[in-house]
Amino acid sequence: MISVIAFAREDAKALGLKRFFTGERCKQGHVAERYTINGCCVACNLERASHYHKTEHAREVKSRLRREPRVGPGGANEGACQASWRDQ
Ligand SMILES: [Zn+2]
């Protein structure tokens, strides 16, 4: 049997962990780890990423990034993701 320790995001930050687990469901109903950096559900992030990479916009961004490397941490969705974390 696997035992899971529930972690608060602040504890994970203090320990320098990249991900933590609360045991609570996200808005989409996943019981999954969350990223310490932004509080986003890992399963949601994977779903969003797999959906996004099929879009025309993703293909445009990929071709643009080959010419201009990304600048700075996070991305365009970082603020939005933090907002949804606070709403829960
Ligand atoms: Zn989720």
State pLDDT tens for residues 31-47: 999 999 999 999 999 99
Q: Which tens digits make up the pLDDT trace of 14-33?
A: 999 999 999 999 999 999 99
- 35 within some domain: yes
| Residue 87 included in any domain | no
Q: How far is ligand 1, taken at its centre, from the CA of residue 14, in Å?
A: 23
pTM value > 0.95: no
> Separation of 1 CA from ligand 1 center, angstroms?
24
Ligand 1 center from residue 29 Cα (angstroms): 6
CA of 35 to the centre of ligand 1 (A): 11
* Structural domain includes residue 36: yes
Q: How many domains does the chain divide into?
A: 1
75 located within any domain: no
Cα–Cα distance between 4 and 48 in angstroms, integer?
Answer: 26
